[in-house]
Amino acid sequence: MMNKIGEINFKEIKRISPSQFYSMKNCAYKSLLAEAFDKKPLLPLSPNAYFGTVLHKMLELIVKGILKGEDDFNAEFDRQVKALEEDLKQKGFGFFVPLKVKLKNFGLKKIQLKKHLRSESEKTTSLGNIKFHSEKWFESQDKLICGKVDLVIENENEIEILDFKTGAIIQDCLDDEGEIYSDVKNEYKEQLKIYAQLYFENTSKFPTALSLVDLAKQKFPVEFSEQECKSLFDEAKSLLKATNDCIHTKLFSANPKQENCKYCLYRPACSFFHKELETDFSFNDVFGEVTNVKKFQNGNVSVFLQNGNKNLIIKNFSSEKFDKLGNHKNKQIRIYNVRKEATEFVYSAADTTIIYE
């Protein structure tokens, strides 16, 4: 059996979190698909994304003071990695295991994470009037916006909201003169500003500082104004409403472009993306009618697709795919997560390649 997308049952999105806002702004249809599929991705995540969940969980335990020393840290880290590896094997992604070997920077990230354990001197400072609230849940009065803040530090008149990121916080941007400069990613800035407004709605106080912290413990301040936070908050609510309205009007729209679709895990269900695939060959996904399937002496299988006047070859499928692909001769299929070869229109299958009819 080949993977297949049946009828899509769109569902209203009840609430939006600050971290979803940017993604919804870039392509609201993706949020609708995620909701329709109960947030179960239709394609595998990258191993880094899975590992990111472990890193974030570890940070949470450190910030909460549950992990105090290096021994606690090591035992919990091993336990979390083992649990993730078991889960990956169960999902059929055993090829990502062992993460230690398969992931670049596994060791470095572990070392960086360990640096977040509070030193004795830091523990002493925290005994004053400073209050730490980790993983604090906030929701707006109308319950349309909600989310968990990684850490709030309250110290008399100072209130700081911190968000931990396990990936890059900075990106290269171009100024008006075309010069490259580095800045905090816009999505993270907006996320923090919405948290600021959420905090205000719940406490009637505005934070005095917003910061992002990376794995290497570097802190990046985010400038903000109260007006800006309020506008983003309202924008998020309007966007949520407009997105849900599409379900009733059935007038869906999407924003299929490389930066949005590349990491979208709902590509197999997106008709807008499918249309794009018919003419755009820049993606790591291909579409076409199966014209031939060949098995070679080494057992490897290649499939030949016709897309318009282009002939595509996808190599390196394992031999058990031969019959499955052969049964789809003269039918259209989409193959996701292929690797582009040096020759144009030639691709090869990878561990994460998935075929949908």
Instruction: Answer yes or no: are the C-beta atoms of 183 and 153 closer than 8 Å.
Output: no
Position 183: which residue type? D
Run of H or E including 322:
helix 321-326
- Applying CB under 6 A, among 24, 27, 159, 277 the residue interacting with ligand SF4 is 27
Our CB check for ligand SF4 shows the closer of 213 and 264 to be 264
Count Cα neighbours of 272 within 13 Å in the Cβ-side half-sphere.
17
For tokens 């917003």, the residue is 210
Query: Is the bond preceding 256 in cis, omega lying within 30 degrees of 0?
Result: no
- Applying CB under 6 A, among 13, 20, 24, 30 the residue interacting with ligand SF4 is 30
Nearest-angstrom CA–CA distance, 139 and 113: 29
Backbone angles phi, psi at 141, to 5 degrees: -60, -35
Q: 339: how many CB neighbours lie within 10 A of its CB?
A: 15
Our CB check for ligand SF4 shows the closer of 200 and 266 to be 266
Radius of gyration of the chain from its Cα atoms, rounded to whole angstroms: 23
- What minimum distance in Å lies between the beta carbon of 184 and ligand SF4? 23
Our CB check for ligand SF4 shows the closer of 163 and 276 to be 276
Q: Whose CA is closest to 226, among 247, 258, 201?
A: 201
CB neighbour list of residue 282: distance below 8 Å, 6 or more residues apart: 258
- What minimum distance in Å lies between the beta carbon of 228 and ligand SF4? 26
Binders of ligand SF4 among 183-212, rule CB under 6 A? none
Our CB check for ligand SF4 shows the closer of 265 and 325 to be 265
| Burial letters 294-318, b for 16+ CB under 10 A, else e | ebeeeebbbbbbebeeeebbbbbbe
- What minimum distance in Å lies between the beta carbon of 32 and ligand SF4? 8
Our CB check for ligand SF4 shows the closer of 152 and 254 to be 254
Position 226: which residue type? E
Query: For residue 81, what are its two tokens?
Result: 């990695």
- What minimum distance in Å lies between the beta carbon of 43 and ligand SF4? 10
310-317 and 219-222 as β-strands: parallel, antiparallel, unpaired?
unpaired
Position 112: which residue type? Q
Instruction: Compute CA 111 distance to the chain's CA centroid, rounded to the nearest angstrom.
Output: 23
Binding-site string for ligand SF4 from residue 249 to residue 288, where x marks contact by CB under 6 A and - marks none: -----xxx---xx--x-xx--x-xx---------------
Our CB check for ligand SF4 shows the closer of 273 and 322 to be 273
For position 33 contacting ligand SF4 by CB under 6 A, the verdict is yes
CB neighbour list of residue 271: distance below 8 Å, 6 or more residues apart: none
Our CB check for ligand SF4 shows the closer of 224 and 336 to be 336
Our CB check for ligand SF4 shows the closer of 114 and 274 to be 274
Total binding residues toward ligand SF4, as defined by CB under 6 A: 15
Our CB check for ligand SF4 shows the closer of 213 and 270 to be 270
- What minimum distance in Å lies between the beta carbon of 261 and ligand SF4? 3
DSSP designation for 96: G
Binding-site string for ligand SF4 from residue 64 to residue 103, where x marks contact by CB under 6 A and - marks none: ----------------------------------------
Nearest-angstrom CA–CA distance, 315 and 311: 13
Give the range of 26-34, 80-88, 198-206, 346-354 binding ligand SF4 by CB under 6 A.
26-34
Binding-site string for ligand SF4 from residue 292 to residue 331, where x marks contact by CB under 6 A and - marks none: ----------------------------------------
- What minimum distance in Å lies between the beta carbon of 257 and ligand SF4? 7
Run of H or E including 193:
helix 186-203
Our CB check for ligand SF4 shows the closer of 77 and 266 to be 266
The site for ligand SF4 (CB under 6 A) is made up of 27, 29-30, 33, 254-256, 260-261, 264, 266-267, 270, 272-273
